[in-house]
Structure 1
Amino acid sequence: MNQPARILAALLIGLALGIAGGRFGWALAVNVADPIGSIWIDALRMTVVPLVVALLVTGILRTAGQSRGGGLALKAVLFFVALLWLSTLISAFLTPALLAAWPLGTASRAALDSAMGQAPAVTTSAPPLGDFIRSIVPTNPLSAAVNDAMLPLIVFTTLFALAAVRLEEGARATLENLFSAIEQAMLTIVGWVLWIAPLGVFALAFVLGARAGTAAIGALAHYIAIVSAAGLAAWALAYPVALLGARVRLGAFIRAVAPAQIVALSTQSSLATLPTMLKCCERLGVPVAVAGVPLPIAVAIFRVTSPAMNLAVAIYVAHLTGTPLSAATIAAGAVVAGTTTLGTISLPGQVSFLTSTTPIALAMGVPLAPLGLLLAVEMIPDLVRTVGNVTMDVAATTALARHEGALDASTGA
């Protein structure tokens, strides 16, 4: 059994035993499990700030390196970044709308609030626009890091990385190597913490099941549906990109990309799907020499579903816990979601889920405790993430080839 399956099994067993424990009064077991789950969440949280900073610096430096690799590479980077921000914007409007149209049941949310120790939310007015804008630029980046003020910290880190891009080659390489080493060390720690993830998830699920009962199961199913819908919306962008950007017939695109989607479903890895994506592009009339430029860049920095689904996770947790969200709060989360995506690398789903969603939740003032449970069911939305990313990679590469005049005319509409 692989790690995602073990984590999911721990969730299901923990919920089942917790529901039974709640009915039979296993108070001692709940009191033992509660601190175990909290310690595991804290262990994950301690890696967030250094890991996000390192990933963002190395991601921007690597992206800059790709854009210096030629005209097509630069166009690919700019096109990919534009699509990432479009995906983020769609999710910022779509997810609250979906939750308004199909909210989690009042009884389920009340039970979960009680189970997670959430105080009743007090709706507050949004801060003045001027105060929000002033808060974006940190007067003390170290203080921002200490206080988990993710948006100002990310603004500073982004400016730092962009300044590093302008350094001479030797100094830039030294900085990239330093932050790459920090990144690898933090990922090692995260790997250790995730090794005991089944225990942590079991403890969290046991406590949740004991306190919330069967309401927990309905909430998880509701979460999967909402977050997957945000991913499906980002995935759907691939088809107008292929139709309008590449001027490829819809049927031809669907048939050509199907093998890559099947590999993506079976591997849950964009990187593992790269050879198949090259073949799919070739079927659409894109020469391998042309596809060989944007596709590796796409696998390295471009995951069109990530900002949409990561922002949806944070918005859902706010909905789940009754945390009020203003337009400015959602905007802050969107900025963090769109920016940190550049620092996302090919990691196991459980690692990338936490490193991507935690900064957004912190920027929005959303509780982190539910993320440990949502991690356990990430393998289901991750299928949407991977297939959506692969589909867009092929569509965007074909559109870039059309723009370069390198697409076989026989594939046009």
Structure 2
Amino acid sequence: GRAILFFVATTAVAVTIGIALALLIRPGDYVDATNLGLASVVDASSGAAEAGGVRILDLPDRVLTLLPSNPLSSMVESNMLQVVIFASIFGVALVVMQRDKARPVLDLLASLQEVCLTIVKWAMWLAPLAVFGLMARLTAETGPQALLGVLVYVGTVLLGLLLMLGVLLVVGRVYAGVSPKVFFGAAKDVMLLAFSTSSSAAVMPLSIKTAEGPLGVRKHISQFVIPLGATINMNGTALYQGVAAIFIAQVFGVEIGAAGLILIVLTSVGASIGSPATPGVGIVILSTILVSVGVPASGIALIMGVDRLLDMSRTVVNVCGDLVACIVLDKLDHAENEERETTERVNGT
């Protein structure tokens, strides 16, 4: 319970930092949407915004629409957040079932996952060429000025990741007594591997080794918290999604009110928790968040070219969040055990 509460709280803080920076810096204002060749999309988004964005009174209805009434329809319409919620409920049902009865479905889903990953790999091989063509045409038509907004967007995300890393270091210092110098000295190899692989899952064995070695976390804590964190603790990913959603909304001139910002926080936290620890998945989950607030998902093409660099950077923050969670929860558990032993000793005497 403490671990999940820690992950959800830090993820919410991360996406809030991202949204605040995007609203303050406004990187989308540096991009002229009319020169992107997506005029019809811009007009449509403007019309949707004028028709009324997400209002506070609409928020309960919007939250209710996240619950899938027809899972097959959600899949056909590419409503990914509804698919994630249905998949979570379906997964819990499989867990509580008898293993022998659930095994055929698990085998089928494993095969489907491999098929989907293979298709995604093909798409990712083609994506750099497609993005290069898009940016080359855009630069030729509008000049280098068109790239300024993307650079400001990258700077905003990196600044947000640095701030979130600072928050994690402060939490580790205050609640576990681990200084930033000690933490960086212990975690430098993990951070380097995370930056190079862009996968929390790939770093997991080294994260466990680092937690149990230099950071002194007990084995039963590290081997529970880090695998769990690699699945649901996506601080960097949530921050990136918050910045990207606001950036694309600014590019297309979609005004997002207070209710829309709350919805972005909720969907970012939920989607980051449900996203797998594999490279490039953040850009896929982002489309869910954009659709939830009425922002054209086609704007993702603007940030595809720089996503790999940001993916590497946000993975570093993700794994650092796992390690900080380890040292904090280990400290709390140790203090609780000492208090219990003291109480039992006093009662015994």
2:7/2:232 contact within 8 Å kept: no
| 3-state DSSP of counterpart to 1:316 | helix
Pick aligned residue for 1:392 from 309, 321, 326:
321
Pick aligned residue for 2:139 from 185, 200, 209:
209
Structure 1 residue 265: Cα displacement: 3.4
Q: 1:116 to 1:229 in 2, by over 3 A?
A: farther
1:374 is aligned with what amino acid? I
Q: Distance in 1 between matches of 2:179 and 2:16?
A: 30
1:154/1:336 contact within 8 Å kept: no
Q: Distance in 2 between matches of 1:155 and 1:272?
A: 25
1:318/1:324 contact within 8 Å kept: yes
**Residue range with higher mean Cα deviation, 370-379 or 219-228:** 370-379
Quote the residue 2:235 is aligned against. 304
Q: 1:132-183, CA deviations, whole angstroms, 9 ceiling, x for partnerless residues?
A: 3443334333333333444444444433333333322223333333323222
Q: Distance in 1 between matches of 2:202 and 2:82?
A: 35
Q: 1:169 to 1:233 in 2, by over 3 A?
A: farther
Q: 1:346-377, CA deviations, whole angstroms, 9 ceiling, x for partnerless residues?
A: 42x33x13322222222222222232341221
* Residues 1:358 and 2:287 are matched in the alignment: yes
* Residues 1:284 and 2:212 are matched in the alignment: no
Q: Distance in 1 between matches of 2:277 and 2:282?
A: 11
Pick aligned residue for 2:190 from 260, 264, 271:
260
Quote the residue 1:126 is aligned against. 54
Q: 1:173 to 1:338 in 2, by over 3 A?
A: farther
Quote the residue 1:110 is aligned against. 32
Pick aligned residue for 1:323 from 251, 254, 260:
254
Q: Distance in 2 between matches of 1:125 and 1:197?
A: 31
Identity %: 24
Pick aligned residue for 2:119 from 189, 194, 208:
189
Q: 1:310 to 1:239 in 2, by over 3 A?
A: same
Unaligned residue ranges in structure 2 (runs of 5+): 339-349
1:199 is aligned with what amino acid? L
1:111/1:211 contact within 8 Å kept: no
1:144/1:152 contact within 8 Å kept: yes
1:361/1:368 contact within 8 Å kept: yes
Unaligned residue ranges in structure 1 (runs of 5+): 1-74
1:109/1:321 contact within 8 Å kept: no
Q: 1:17-49, CA deviations, whole angstroms, 9 ceiling, x for partnerless residues?
A: xxxxxxxxxxxxxxxxxxxxxxxxxxxxxxxxx
Quote the residue 1:145 is aligned against. 75
Q: Distance in 2 between matches of 1:278 and 1:159?
A: 29
Q: Distance in 1 between matches of 2:84 and 2:221?
A: 34
Q: 1:216 to 1:324 in 2, by over 3 A?
A: same
| 3-state DSSP of counterpart to 2:131 | helix
Quote the residue 1:69 is aligned against. none
1:257/1:280 contact within 8 Å kept: yes
Structure 1 residue 319: Cα displacement: 1.6
Quote the residue 1:101 is aligned against. 24
Q: Distance in 2 between matches of 1:159 and 1:389?
A: 25
1:270/1:299 contact within 8 Å kept: yes
Structure 1 residue 111: Cα displacement: 4.9
2:31 is aligned with what amino acid? R
Quote the residue 2:311 is aligned against. 382
| 3-state DSSP of counterpart to 2:256 | coil
| 3-state DSSP of counterpart to 2:334 | coil
Q: 1:295 to 1:142 in 2, by over 3 A?
A: closer
1:150/1:363 contact within 8 Å kept: no
* Residues 1:340 and 2:262 are matched in the alignment: no
Q: 1:234 to 1:176 in 2, by over 3 A?
A: farther
Quote the residue 1:18 is aligned against. none
**Residue range with higher mean Cα deviation, 117-126 or 373-382:** 117-126
1:23-102 matches, within 5 Å, as: 79=3, 81-102=4-25
* Residues 1:167 and 2:110 are matched in the alignment: no
2:329 is aligned with what amino acid? L
Q: 1:171 to 1:229 in 2, by over 3 A?
A: farther
Structure 1 residue 188: Cα displacement: 0.9
Q: 1:113-147, CA deviations, whole angstroms, 9 ceiling, x for partnerless residues?
A: 55432227244243433533443334333333333
Q: Distance in 1 between matches of 2:166 and 2:150?
A: 24
- RMSD, aligned α-carbons: 3.1
Structure 1 residue 301: Cα displacement: 4.2
Q: 1:317 to 1:301 in 2, by over 3 A?
A: same
Q: Distance in 2 between matches of 1:235 and 1:388?
A: 6
2:197/2:312 contact within 8 Å kept: no
Q: Distance in 1 between matches of 2:62 and 2:156?
A: 28
TM-score of the pair, normalised by structure 2: 0.80
Q: Distance in 2 between matches of 1:162 and 1:400?
A: 25
